[in-house]
């Protein structure tokens, strides 16, 4: 039983919890958590079209999310990484950034202010949003995509806090 209690305390310590004295004048302080990711557009996010993964690699689907914005708003790097592409694909201006753990984020339509090979940090401007994204109910929408290898993922998961689950022992 003591071993389980020690393990529990170790898990709490590793999660950033520290013991607080029992004095009445001491208030507990939550540990500061620095996010690894940020939204690519400032302000409140308005998802105008959600992620709709295709059933197969060549099937129709929506391989990202569309976020409502305003033309010429700054578009921000969602996380630290290296720009691997900043140019035009099928007539649309696109920026792609490689991140740790094999993740790649894509942003379009964006008039890039970065170039391939350039290192970017979370929240740094990578260009400005251009209007005219097909199917967008607003003046402008940013299509934000996320991949790991060849698999497409919902980029909104980057903005959700991680969930910690304790599993029973034995």
Is 47-159 a CATH 2.70.70.10 domain?
yes
**What's the whole-number mean pLDDT along residues 82-91?**
95
The pLDDT of residue 24 is 46
The pLDDT of residue 12 is 45
Residue 49, class by beta-carbon neighbours within 10 Å (0-12 exposed, 13-18 middle, 19+ buried)?
middle
* DSSP 8-state assignment for residue 132: -
Q: How far is CA 104 from CA 79, 97, 141, in A?
A: 10, 5, 20
Res. 19: pLDDT tops 80 = no
Percentage of residues of the chain with pLDDT beyond 70: 76
* DSSP 8-state assignment for residue 3: H
The pLDDT of residue 32 is 55
52 phi and psi, to 5 degrees?
Answer: -140, 85
Whole-structure pTM value: 0.74
Residue with tokens 């302000």: 43
The pLDDT of residue 62 is 78
The pLDDT of residue 43 is 83
**What's the whole-number mean pLDDT along residues 28-38?**
66
Q: Which two tokens stand for residue 122?
A: 């979370």
What are the sequence ranges of the domains in the chain? 47-159
């Amino acid at each position: 039983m003591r071993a389980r209690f020690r393990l529990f305390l170790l898990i709490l310590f590793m999660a950033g919890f520290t013991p607080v004295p029992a004095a009445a004048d001491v208030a507990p302080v939550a540990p500061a958590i620095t996010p690894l990711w940020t939204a690519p557009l400032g302000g409140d996010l308005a998802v105008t079209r959600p992620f709709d993964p295709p059933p197969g690699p060549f099937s129709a689907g929506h391989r990202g999310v569309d976020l409502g914005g305003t033309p010429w708003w700054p578009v921000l790097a969602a996380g630290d990484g290296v720009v691997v592409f900043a140019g035009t694909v099928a007539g649309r201006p696109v920026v792609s950034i490689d991140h740790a753990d094999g993740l790649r984020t894509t942003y379009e339509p964006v008039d890039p202010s970065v170039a391939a090979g350039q290192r970017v940090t979370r929240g740094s401007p990578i260009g400005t949003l251009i209007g005219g994204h097909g199917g967008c109910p607003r003046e402008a929408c940013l299509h934000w995509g996320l991949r790991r290898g060849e698999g497409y993922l919902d980029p909104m998961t980057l903005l959700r806090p991680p969930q910690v689950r304790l599993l029973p022992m034995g």
